[in-house]
């Protein structure tokens, strides 16, 4: 900050920030407040039987979180990216230690995801996501070579693996997937071709097919067909022999690995997966929540029931309708129009992020900005997709909108960094 920046750099912030992206962020925060007001305020006053299960305190506390979050955004904006770059490995190391600590402390209890320091609690996995973006950005900006060689995927893969393993041990499948949702787009940004991503992902797809086939009395032939298709793609792209051989082996290996992995999943995770592929199997648990969420969204129709008019939110079906399932409330009260507006606002931020990444001259900025955009992209589509039954339920909140502190602070900090990377791209 220099003298001409105004008090605490406000003038410089206002002048240089990307107004479109900032406006989208503020609009989403306003939507968050409106929705939480609706969730927490009963239209039928004093009516015990229909009391909303989420107290009005949540609404007022969200003000505090948003205020703190805007502080984090401002902090992110003024954090020099060189500091983030220089400290990337340190962040990575710290987050790794914290993930270890949380496992160690939490041993014997059910939830091993939070660290408590006095009244403050946070999830080290949130911190680990941030560290991963910066570490990958730093690594990718310092290495050259063909992004399509399997060998150039090796190090990024090794970087992602340790935190993923620790998080899977917690166990938190949804959060572990976020790490891949950051890694793969960044690899793509580095030049990895989509066809190769599909090939690389084929063991994963095969894995999902195995899971799906579990609900279909273990008929294996669709998977065999898929493996043959993969084999055909490899014959067509003969350039990378050893890579193709490895992928093919991995595809076959899945068949033996999947039962072993499955037996290591927690029952609730197995349940979630099965109920996603076949909601009939689990009418009462996760599948039921999704069904109820779809009913709320579907009942909203094109224009919605109107603010405070939603009826499904009053009912008890969604314990997390102020957090993970907040989109179902928005869908019911503001309809498809409201849902699409929110999607557009998020898309706007993501697209601006990609634009920042594309025009940056500095390698780190280029990858970090893209990583942040990918991070936001995944959280939004995963959450909304889950609410409307596109994707299995994973405990991921809707960024900027869901009630909650940890996610709000991290997201706004990252968006602050993103705005910074976009605002002074000529200098970088």
Q: Footprint of other proteins on this chain (CB under 8 A)?
A: 44, 46-50, 140-141, 144-147, 185, 188-191, 194, 283-284, 292, 294-302, 311-312, 315-317, 319, 331, 335-336, 339-340, 343-344, 346-347, 350-351, 354, 358, 361-363, 366, 370, 373, 377, 381, 384-385, 388-390
Rounded to the nearest whole angstrom, what is the least distance from the CB of residue 167 to other proteins in the complex? Answer: 24
Longest dimension (CA), the chain: 71
Structure tokens at 378: 């995944």
> How far apart are the C-alpha atoms of 30 and 37, rounded to whole Å?
11
> How far apart are the C-alpha atoms of 45 and 39, rounded to whole Å?
14
Rounded to the nearest whole angstrom, what is the least distance from the CB of residue 385 to other proteins in the complex? Answer: 6
Whether 372 and 136 have beta carbons less than 8 Å apart is answered as no
What are the DSSP calls for 8-58, one per residue?
A: GGHHHHHHHS-HHHHHHHHHHHHHHHHHHHHHHS-SSTT-GGG--SS-THH
Cβ–Cβ contacts within 10 Å for residue 285, how many? 15
Rounded to the nearest whole angstrom, what is the least distance from the CB of residue 384 to other proteins in the complex? Answer: 5
Rounded to the nearest whole angstrom, what is the least distance from the CB of residue 291 to other proteins in the complex? Answer: 9
Rounded to the nearest whole angstrom, what is the least distance from the CB of residue 174 to other proteins in the complex? Answer: 18
Structure tokens at 123: 């999830």
* Backbone phi, psi, residue 115, to 5°: -110, 135
Tokens 């190090």, residue?
155
Residue number with CB closer to other proteins (227 or 347):
347
> How far apart are the C-alpha atoms of 386 and 350, rounded to whole Å?
19
Residue 295 Cα to chain centre, angstroms: 24
Residue number with CB closer to other proteins (180 or 317):
317
Residue number with CB closer to other proteins (78 or 188):
188
> How far apart are the C-alpha atoms of 354 and 201, rounded to whole Å?
23
Residue number with CB closer to other proteins (180 or 188):
188
Rounded to the nearest whole angstrom, what is the least distance from the CB of residue 27 to other proteins in the complex? Answer: 16
Structure tokens at 212: 């799906």
Residue number with CB closer to other proteins (122 or 325):
325
Structure tokens at 401: 């909108």
Positive or negative, the CA dihedral 61, 67, 70, 76 is: negative
> How far apart are the C-alpha atoms of 122 and 115, rounded to whole Å?
5
Of the candidates 315, 209, 312, 215, the one whose C-alpha atom is nearest the C-alpha of residue 272 is 215
Rounded to the nearest whole angstrom, what is the least distance from the CB of residue 298 to other proteins in the complex? Answer: 2
Residue number with CB closer to other proteins (61 or 149):
149
> How far apart are the C-alpha atoms of 316 and 332, rounded to whole Å?
15
Residue number with CB closer to other proteins (312 or 407):
312
Rounded to the nearest whole angstrom, what is the least distance from the CB of residue 396 to other proteins in the complex? Answer: 14
> How far apart are the C-alpha atoms of 318 and 353, rounded to whole Å?
33
Rounded to the nearest whole angstrom, what is the least distance from the CB of residue 333 to other proteins in the complex? Answer: 12
Residue number with CB closer to other proteins (10 or 237):
237
> How far apart are the C-alpha atoms of 224 and 330, rounded to whole Å?
42
CB-count burial class (<10 Å; 0-12, 13-18, 19+) for 334: buried
Residue number with CB closer to other proteins (73 or 318):
318
Residue number with CB closer to other proteins (99 or 376):
376
Residue 272 Cα to chain centre, angstroms: 18
DSSP state of 304: -
């Amino acid at each position: 900050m220099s003298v001409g920046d105004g008090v605490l750099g406000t003038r410089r912030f206002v002048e240089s920030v990307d107004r479109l992206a900032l406006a989208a962020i503020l609009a989403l925060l306003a939507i968050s407040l409106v929705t939480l007001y609706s969730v927490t305020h009963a239209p039928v006053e004093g009516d015990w039987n229909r009391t909303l299960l989420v107290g009005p305190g949540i609404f007022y506390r969200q003000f505090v979180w948003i205020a703190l979050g805007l502080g984090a955004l401002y902090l992110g904006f003024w954090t020099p990216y060189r500091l983030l770059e220089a400290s990337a490995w340190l962040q990575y190391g710290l987050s790794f230690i914290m993930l270890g600590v949380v496992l160690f402390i939490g041993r014997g209890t059910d939830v091993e995801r939070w660290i408590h320091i006095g009244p403050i609690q946070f999830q080290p996995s949130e911190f680990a996501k941030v560290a991963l973006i910066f570490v990958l950005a730093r690594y990718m900006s310092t290495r050259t070579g063909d992004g399509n060689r399997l060998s150039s995927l090796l190090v990024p893969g090794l970087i992602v693996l340790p935190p993923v393993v620790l998080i899977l041990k917690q166990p938190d499948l949804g959060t572990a997937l976020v790490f891949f949702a950051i890694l793969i787009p960044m690899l793509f940004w580095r030049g990895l071709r989509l066809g190769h991503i599909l090939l690389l992902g084929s063991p994963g797809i095969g894995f999902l097919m195995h899971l799906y086939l579990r609900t279909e009395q273990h008929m294996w032939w669709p998977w065999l067909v898929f493996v043959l298709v993969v084999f055909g793609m490899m014959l067509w792209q003969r350039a990378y022999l050893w890579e193709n051989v490895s992928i093919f082996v991995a595809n076959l290996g899945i068949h033996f690995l999947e039962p072993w992995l499955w037996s290591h999943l927690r029952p609730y995770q197995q349940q979630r997966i099965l109920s996603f592929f076949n909601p009939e199997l689990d009418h009462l648990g996760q599948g039921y929540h999704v069904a109820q969420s779809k009913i709320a969204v579907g009942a909203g129709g094109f224009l919605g029931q109107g603010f405070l008019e939603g009826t499904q939110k009053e009912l008890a079906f969604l314990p997390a309708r102020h957090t993970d399932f907040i989109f179902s409330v928005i869908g019911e009260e503001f309809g498809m129009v409201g849902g699409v507006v929110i999607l557009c606002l998020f898309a706007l931020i993501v697209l601006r992020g990609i634009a920042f990444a594309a025009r940056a001259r500095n390698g780190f900025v280029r990858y970090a900005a893209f990583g942040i955009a990918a991070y936001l992209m995944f959280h939004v589509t995963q959450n909304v997709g889950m609410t409307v039954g596109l994707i299995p339920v994973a405990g991921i909140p809707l960024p900027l909108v869901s009630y909650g502190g940890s996610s709000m602070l991290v997201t706004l900090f990252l968006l602050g960094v993103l705005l910074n990377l976009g605002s002074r791209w000529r200098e970088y």
